[in-house]
Amino acid sequence: MLPLKLIAVMLEYPSQELWEASEEILAVIASESPELLEFSQCYLQAPLLDRQQEWCETFDRGRATSLLLFEHVHAESRDRGQAMVDLMAQYQAAGLQPDCRELPDYLPVYLEYLSLCPEEDGRQGLRDIAEILALLGGRLTQRDSGYHVLFDQLLHLADSPLRSHTVLEKIAGESRDDTPQAMDALWEEEQVKFIDDTACNNAANQQYRQRFREQVTPQYLDLSAGGVK
């Protein structure tokens, strides 16, 4: 599914190589995925440095719009590590070796993998993460980010009834986690401990849950069992 590859490219951190090849990419989009043309033209006509700054502000601040899929399901739990291992095994079985700089659950990597799968398997792979895609798209819509178009297109390709606007009421009460105050709270240095302190560990876990208590979490995500093969 070529559209998945094109969307993966648009979701990557903007690069000089992409801007240099913009005319060729727009030509491919015009012939293969015209529904992405308006966004892509606007996106690629802006100065590269502006788009790089925008990308960082959109996807690299806070957890709510992270492109790491398991961040929205497992957060920092131990289950995340095993999920990473299982997903990497799927990639390797398909002959794909992701760049070591990116984690296996990085959305553009996952989309590239799905683009290599048979069409129905790729569609099922999108359905497996449809709730995450809708939540991301909804949060981007709240923030007036044009990137929400890409997530709605992924949901369309998945034949999912979900869209960015369908989750707006659900996420209306979420607190922004990309403000300076929220970022300071998230990255504040933890106290160094030299002994096992159960009370402190429990307090830290409660603080983490408190920090994200208002954030909607997808109820299900399984990329290995019953999904894409």
Burial class (CB in 10 A: 0-12, 13-18, 19+), 102: middle
What the block records as the tokens of 15 is 């690069």
Q: Where are the alpha helices (DSSP H) in the chain?
A: 2-11, 16-20, 22-32, 37-45, 48-59, 79-93, 107-116, 119-128, 130-142, 148-157, 180-187, 198-211
What is the chain's pLDDT, residue by residue, as a tens digit (229 residues)? 789 999 999 999 999 999 999 999 999 999 999 999 999 999 999 999 999 999 999 999 888 999 999 988 866 666 777 888 889 998 988 888 776 678 899 999 999 999 999 999 999 999 999 999 999 999 999 999 999 999 999 999 999 999 999 999 999 988 776 665 555 555 564 444 444 444 444 444 444 344 444 455 554 455 554 454 4
Contact by Cβ (8 Å): 10, 35: no
How far is residue 39's CA from residue 161's CA, in Å, rounded to a whole number? 22
For residue 194, the model assigns a pLDDT of 46
Distance CA 201, CA 207 (A): 10
Determine the pLDDT at residue 118: 94
pLDDT of 13 reads: 96
Q: Given this model, what pLDDT does residue 203 score?
A: 43
In the structure encoding, which two tokens stand for residue 171, read together?
Answer: 């996420």
What pLDDT score was predicted for residue 61?
A: 85
pLDDT of residue 1: 78
